């Protein structure tokens, strides 16, 4: 039984014991990801200092180029993951193509899909940001990867989760046996189980959407948000909460209950299907929320059932408490 206070490493090992066929490959991969996140967390905590030492992406006072934080996060994850020998490919939000594994490293059967730093436009103003990850397994023989090997629906994820760099750093992850939250203690260099078996409320009063785009929404989306805000006897007054950092908005709603929405936006012809990416943002959070008793949809389909057509595919995204998501489906079904 997982016990509050156990480290994430102990938790991973406990999960392995329940699966005698496990080789340790997955545990090694997850540990490498945790190590990378610790490094990113410490760098994010120091981000404010780049203001006085030179802001990211420009030359600092020592005349060196300061790396952009999302590039730093991506490189850190790649570096720690390739050396495990357990991945055969990686896909990052920041890189257009599949990231191959250099020949000098052995390849394993896992595929890591990730958003290295979500909400990164908020770094300069000290708002919570995060890293989102999704782990898939290559099907079929061999370790050479084609795009088809990567384009798997979210239902096939073997694990998924995120790290949030907030007032404390946390990791929330699932392997399909509940969603569990760990809080980082920098002095110990460890994540400790603080939120075992997370359950999201059946219904919540929070709705999170960028309402600045209201006039660019399709009519049924406008009607949905109008409905949410219409006072009705017996219904709680809703609260609008939108940080603009998906991980942070999602994390809050997971515990407090409610609904996060990023619909299609007719304003931007480049993003007719919304902004958020199916494989590296929506699928992992959809897996977490389902394990916590919540749901995720694009308005018509369960997010986890969508067969991706391309690695950076964007989808409308509605995620949260099951009752709130039901209302979305009512409004957006046709």
Alpha carbon distances (Å) from 90 to 39, 85, 250, 281: 19, 12, 24, 14
DSSP state of 99: B
Q: How far is the CB of 128 from ligand AHG (least distance, A)?
A: 10
- In angstroms, what is the minimal distance from the CB of 134 to ligand AHG? 14
CB nearer ligand AHG, residue 94 or residue 190: 94
Binding characters for ligand AHG, 92-111, by CB under 6 A (x = yes)? -x------------------
Q: Mark residues 94-133: x for contact with Mn ion by CB under 5 A, - for none.
A: ---------------------x--x---------------
- Cβ-contact 195, 181 below 8 angstroms: yes
- Contacted by 138, from Mn ion, ligand AHG, none: CB < 5 to 8 Å by type: none
Q: How far is the CB of 137 from ligand AHG (least distance, A)?
A: 25
249 lies in the binding site for Mn ion (CB under 5 A): no
Q: Choose one: 81-89, 134-142, 187-195, 244-252; the region binding ligand AHG (CB under 6 A).
A: 244-252
> Does residue 119 bind ligand AHG (CB under 6 A)?
yes
Element containing residue 184 per DSSP (H, E): strand 179-185
**3-state SS, residue 76:** helix
115 binds ligand AHG (CB under 6 A): yes
Q: How many residues bind Mn ion (CB under 5 A)?
A: 3
Q: How far is the CB of 120 from Mn ion (least distance, A)?
A: 5
**CB closer to ligand AHG, 23 vs 121:** 121
Residue 275 binds: one of Mn ion, ligand AHG, none (C-beta under 5 to 8 A by kind):
ligand AHG
Tell me if 120 contacts ligand AHG by CB under 6 A: yes
Instruction: Return the number of the residue (6 or 172) whose C-beta is nearest Mn ion.
Output: 172
Three-state DSSP class for 239? strand
> What are the backbone angles phi and psi of residue 172, rounded to the nearest 5°?
-125, 125
Q: What number of residues does the chain have?
A: 334
Residues 206-235 that bind ligand AHG (CB under 6 A): 210
Which listed option, ligand AHG, Mn ion, none, makes contact with residue 245 (CB within 5 to 8 Å by class)?
ligand AHG
Any idea what DSSP says for residue 103? Answer: T
Q: How many CB atoms lie within 10 A of CB 130?
A: 30
CA distance 325 to 307: 21
CA 159 – CA 113 distance, rounded (Å): 11
Pick the binder of ligand AHG from 107, 275, 295, 314 (CB under 6 A): 275
Task: Show the tokens assigned to 228.
Answer: 């949410």
CA atoms within 13 A on the CB side of 310: 7
Distance CA(236)–CA(84), nearest Å, equals 50
List the interface residues with ligand AHG, window 134-193 (CB under 6 A). Answer: none
Does position 272 interact with ligand AHG (CB under 6 A)? The reply is no
93 part of the interface to Mn ion, by CB under 5 A: yes
Q: Does 118 bind ligand AHG (CB under 6 A)?
A: yes
Q: How many degrees, rounded to 5, is the angle at CA 199 between CA 198 and CA 205?
A: 125
Listing from the earlier edge strand, what are the strands of the sheet with 295-297? 239-240, 206-208, 258-262, 317-320, 295-297
- Per the CB < 8 A criterion, the answer to whether 41 and 165 are in contact is yes
Nearest residue (CB) to ligand AHG, 210 versus 239: 210
User: Which residues of this protein are in contact with ligand AHG, per CB under 6 A?
Assistant: 93, 115, 118-121, 210, 244-246, 275
């Amino acid at each position: 039984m997982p016990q509050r206070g156990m480290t994430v490493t102990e938790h991973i090992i406990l999960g392995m014991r329940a699966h005698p066929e496990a080789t340790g490959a997955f545990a090694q991969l997850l540990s490498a990801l945790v190590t990378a996140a610790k490094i990113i967390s410490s760098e994010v905590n120091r981000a404010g200092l780049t203001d006085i030492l030179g802001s990211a992406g420009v030359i600092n006072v020592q005349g060196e180029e300061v790396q952009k934080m999302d590039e730093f996060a991506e490189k850190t994850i790649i570096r720690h993951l390739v050396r495990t020998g357990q991945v055969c490919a990686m896909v990052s939000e920041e890189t257009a193509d599949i990231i191959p594994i250099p020949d000098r490293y052995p390849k394993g059967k896992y595929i890591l899909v990730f958003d290295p730093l979500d909400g990164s436009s908020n770094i300069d103003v000290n708002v919570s940001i995060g890293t989102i990850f999704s782990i898939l397994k290559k099907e079929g023989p061999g370790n050479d990867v084609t795009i088809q090997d990567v384009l798997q629906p979210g239902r096939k994820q073997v694990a998924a989760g995120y790290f949030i760099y907030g007032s404390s750093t946390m990791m929330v992850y699932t392997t399909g046996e509940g969603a569990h939250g760990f809080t980082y203690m920098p002095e110990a260099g460890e994540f400790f189980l603080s939120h075992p078996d997370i359950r999201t409320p059946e219904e919540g009063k929070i709705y999170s959407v960028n309402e600045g785009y209201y006039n660019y929404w399709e009519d049924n989306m406008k009607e949905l948000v109008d409905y949410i805000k219409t006072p009705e006897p017996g219904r709680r007054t809703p609260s609008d909460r939108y940080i603009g950092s998906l991980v942070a908005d999602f994390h809050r709603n997971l515990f407090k209950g409610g609904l996060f929405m990023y619909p299609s936006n007719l304003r931007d012809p480049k993003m007719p299907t919304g902004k958020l990416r199916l494989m590296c943002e929506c699928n992992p959070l959809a897996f977490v929320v389902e394990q916590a008793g919540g749901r995720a949809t694009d308005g018509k389909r369960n997010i986890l059932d969508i067969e991706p057509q391309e690695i950076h595919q964007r989808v409308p995204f509605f995620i949260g408490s099951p009752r709130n998501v039901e209302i979305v489906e009512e409004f957006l079904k046709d």
